Structure 1
């Protein structure tokens, strides 16, 4: 009966992976090799299959009803159906539906109980929770199932913490208003706007910002995600792990270890930060993986196997435990870690670079400097003040500010046909927010070089619509790369100063223009593609170092 109860309450099993580890395939309880059962998706029995379909349909209908509940409430109120005499029968109907679904779940459990493959899986899962030995965890890694039941592999407090007594990585909060705004009257006057901002951020705003966290989208993508995960495990020997962040969120990760391979870049770890609808199963992780690096991918809170809600603080907490896992469990030195981000993943990437300044390099692909201009582009102009307040208060993805607090090598990849992070039309490369990210970085690191002449010539180069126009700017300024390199090297060789540098303060305008263009070209790489086109492995390179 205990095993039957475990089958009723157990997670959904999706796949039994093909065995790819060293040595022969593992043996079952009867001592028989299990090679035939390691070659396909899990095949549920008829009873389990039909019961699963009913429960999946109920889950989708519940999700749809949650999104439609405000409209349904208004409709029922206008029809006079929210009176006590009408509500009580509805509650009875709801209780009946819950009992019926519980019965369906029991039937599903019986179907699982009669399936030897599921019984074997549930035994391995129970052993992993009870014993937690490496051997049992290796057996569990051969199954793909509902990640909520996966045991925790690493905790945020398993290593020495760099944070305060509360244990939470802190984000920089927006400044509080002064004077009359801090008085009681000022607070009451701002209360309606604050409430509207809170509601906008936690309903429409969060879902627009991170559409990958929407349950219905994840449900539609489930077959693709399962296939992508199978490829990472079976072909790339990926190791899945659950990390527990300091806020209680569970973060789904996948690690591909190339340190034992023939390629030297395998000794470097690339931590991938996905976009707002990206998952490590099908995201930018494939670019450094195909380039031969060791790779660690993770899913945002609320995406696929990760729990929680994708807001800036929970994003930072998730990135923190991923970094701790890479350093203290996987054993990579900070200088051997490269943080690679695509699109909105630039927020967690710049946060990690700011918080772990020893990391080796930072690569930002199709990222932006600030969320406010992009939010104003897609929402009505009449909402301008409300949108600005909402972003600054609850969704403040200030990539540019965080990037300037990192001292290491940086490479920005700009999509020349980017339709997402431009504020006008996709063809207008001058409005690409990657331009502003580059300018903020250069102005912080080289303020004397990026004086009026430097900013003007870099902007002119960034706004060039074709390679021919770019070449014309370079030819007019006659950039001598050897001279630029010697100037920078001679400034840094005997001081090794932190940024910002004072180089360029006693230099002619022509010299500053040359250095500004030289530095811009070293920190920015153009890629002829739209926002969502995958970056090919041959286009992935490490940032320039002086």
Structure 2
């Protein structure tokens, strides 16, 4: 390779952060890549330009307004032209200096040779490429969702197409021309302020500030055997994912946990730790626009991302659908519940510290004077209605509520206003409608039970209505047996029960579908609480065992 060719490649090649070596005892050791003076200076200039540009995009309207309000816009335009020219020269110079410094660095040249080889030999030499940690845009594609056999997949369910179907059956209303300005304003807000408020992890500055923590977290995962992957979605976003295979190490390893992070969560430092501590195989991924993932975390891109992750897990990693647990934390409950709705045969769905619908949370944090605008933005661009998706999934579910949650309560810091309560309420009323039909008493009882501040207070309610656990189990088992030993929803449970029995069943089912952790929103979930959701079929086994013991 000629010097000119090498220099050109080094100018536009990725930043190298770390490289790994195997010690004489077989342990993986990470070593920092030491950039020379010119390369370090060039990197600082490039990063500064990228950060400035991310802010400039949102400031362009203000700049235009200022220019036209000043007396001589042509003079200002000339000044701006000079500034842009100077900045361009500085950027070009820094790129050249960085490329030259890299071309003289043996460690970087060795990395470049490995990276060049991947273009023709990947994934055969992925193990060699995995010894380097570098800017993820240069990582080769490991899985393209378009390569999957499309004949095996039906059209995916989304809240948008479900809503479109319901609208098609109702009389059409013509939008007034007066709504056009509101729609334009909503679009602008959704693609700027709202997106960053709902998903702060997509802000470039946040990614830059957290880059050191994310790098260290990724290194820690790789040193215990994790493998990094780049997944290409249906809308051509590149998703940064990591996989830890425990299938040959313990029993839990045969089950894969797919983690869905919160609105400022990354797999490098997120909820991946809890299932790892339980011995599960784990697949973590970053939202579009987070760390190495491209795109923006709008609902449609989020759906395409988790759909790609699911197909990667099933088709590439080889996990059957019924061996997958979906773990969604906070806003990650949206993608987890979407995947459960579209992959109904998963092993279980675990929703941790999540909510039923983002609209009440948004309205509570915005001035009442702009409520119509907030509703418009949320429903048209961020319709994160987790309960609507959950109610189209009939498998195992476990909801974890944080007793001191400061993020998803309306009003704030109020256990009774924790939106996990509403998520449970909507789940139970859909699955067991006869327990809530023709009366508000069951809803009131459930609300009072969930609002009780302590275990002792909840136990008083249990004792007051006399919850008979054995009778509840027998009634549930009988309902399943009457349905040919199939768990089917909506269930007929409670159809022929009296008022008191219905109340007992409501409380019993609430304890089966929900558990809680005495902590705030961002405290990691304890390993003891991480488990599969309740399986109603277990009531038949319990009933049969009691019969055998009696005989």
Offset at 1:233? 0.4
Does the CA-based 8 Å contact 1:407-1:498 persist in structure 2? yes
Residue 12 of structure 1 is matched in structure 2 by: 15
Structure 2 regions of 5+ residues with no counterpart? 537-551
Equivalent-residue separation in structure 2 for 1:157 and 1:100 (angstroms)? 41
For 1:24-423, list aligned pairs within 5 A: 39-81=30-72, 83-134=73-124, 136-161=125-150, 170-173=158-161, 174-175=163-164, 176=167, 181-182=173-174, 186-234=175-223, 236-261=224-249, 263-423=250-410
Equivalent-residue separation in structure 2 for 1:478 and 1:56 (angstroms)? 65
Range that drifts further, 42-51 or 337-346: 42-51
SS at match of 2:327: strand
Residue 434 of structure 2 is matched in structure 1 by: 448
Range that drifts further, 99-108 or 355-364: 99-108
Offset at 1:53? 1.7
Does the CA-based 8 Å contact 2:67-2:76 persist in structure 1? no
Does the CA-based 8 Å contact 1:301-1:314 persist in structure 2? yes
Alpha-carbon distance change, 162 to 283 in structure 1, aligned in 2, over 3 angstroms: farther
1:483 aligns with 2:471: yes
Residue 544 of structure 2 is matched in structure 1 by: none
Alpha-carbon distance change, 257 to 501 in structure 1, aligned in 2, over 3 angstroms: same
Does the CA-based 8 Å contact 2:145-2:308 persist in structure 1? yes
Does the CA-based 8 Å contact 1:361-1:409 persist in structure 2? yes
Equivalent-residue separation in structure 1 for 2:369 and 2:172 (angstroms)? 26
CA-atom RMSD, angstroms?
2.1
Offset at 1:409? 0.3
Equivalent-residue separation in structure 2 for 1:338 and 1:471 (angstroms)? 31
1:543 aligns with 2:533: yes
**Residue-by-residue CA offset, 1:219-245 (whole Å, 9 max, x unaligned):** 0000000000000101x2111000000
SS at match of 2:535: coil
SS at match of 1:172: helix
Offset at 1:58? 2.4
Does the CA-based 8 Å contact 2:41-2:94 persist in structure 1? no
Equivalent-residue separation in structure 1 for 2:39 and 2:491 (angstroms)? 66
Equivalent-residue separation in structure 2 for 1:460 and 1:489 (angstroms)? 27
Residue 528 of structure 1 is matched in structure 2 by: 518
Does the CA-based 8 Å contact 2:202-2:289 persist in structure 1? yes
Does the CA-based 8 Å contact 1:169-1:316 persist in structure 2? no
Offset at 1:314? 0.3
Offset at 1:482? 1.4
Does the CA-based 8 Å contact 1:171-1:313 persist in structure 2? no
Equivalent-residue separation in structure 2 for 1:233 and 1:164 (angstroms)? 33
Does the CA-based 8 Å contact 1:251-1:299 persist in structure 2? yes
Alpha-carbon distance change, 164 to 285 in structure 1, aligned in 2, over 3 angstroms: closer
Offset at 1:72? 3.5
Equivalent-residue separation in structure 1 for 2:199 and 2:519 (angstroms)? 22
SS at match of 1:187: coil
Residue 28 of structure 1 is matched in structure 2 by: none
**Residue-by-residue CA offset, 1:282-310 (whole Å, 9 max, x unaligned):** 11111111221110000000000000011
Range that drifts further, 443-452 or 54-63: 54-63
SS at match of 2:520: coil
Equivalent-residue separation in structure 2 for 1:544 and 1:43 (angstroms)? 52
Offset at 1:144? 0.8
TM superposition score normalised by structure 1: 0.92
Residue 431 of structure 1 is matched in structure 2 by: 417
Offset at 1:479? 1.1
Equivalent-residue separation in structure 1 for 2:292 and 2:475 (angstroms)? 50
Offset at 1:130? 2.1
Does the CA-based 8 Å contact 1:169-1:320 persist in structure 2? no
Range that drifts further, 511-520 or 55-64: 55-64
Alpha-carbon distance change, 522 to 24 in structure 1, aligned in 2, over 3 angstroms: closer
SS at match of 2:497: coil
Does the CA-based 8 Å contact 1:251-1:298 persist in structure 2? yes
SS at match of 1:425: coil
Aligned residues: 525
**Residue-by-residue CA offset, 1:266-285 (whole Å, 9 max, x unaligned):** 11100000000000001111
Does the CA-based 8 Å contact 1:251-1:318 persist in structure 2? yes
Range that drifts further, 374-383 or 536-545: 536-545
**Residue-by-residue CA offset, 1:436-487 (whole Å, 9 max, x unaligned):** 1001111111111233343222111111112221111111111111111111
SS at match of 1:488: helix
For 1:447-466, list aligned pairs within 5 A: 447-451=433-437, 452=439, 453-466=441-454
Does the CA-based 8 Å contact 1:15-1:41 persist in structure 2? yes
TM superposition score normalised by structure 2: 0.91
**Residue-by-residue CA offset, 1:76-114 (whole Å, 9 max, x unaligned):** 333335x23431342243123213211210110111111
Alpha-carbon distance change, 162 to 194 in structure 1, aligned in 2, over 3 angstroms: farther
Alpha-carbon distance change, 507 to 39 in structure 1, aligned in 2, over 3 angstroms: closer
Range that drifts further, 173-182 or 320-329: 173-182
Residue 506 of structure 2 is matched in structure 1 by: 516
Structure 1 regions of 5+ residues with no counterpart? 26-34
Residue 31 of structure 1 is matched in structure 2 by: none
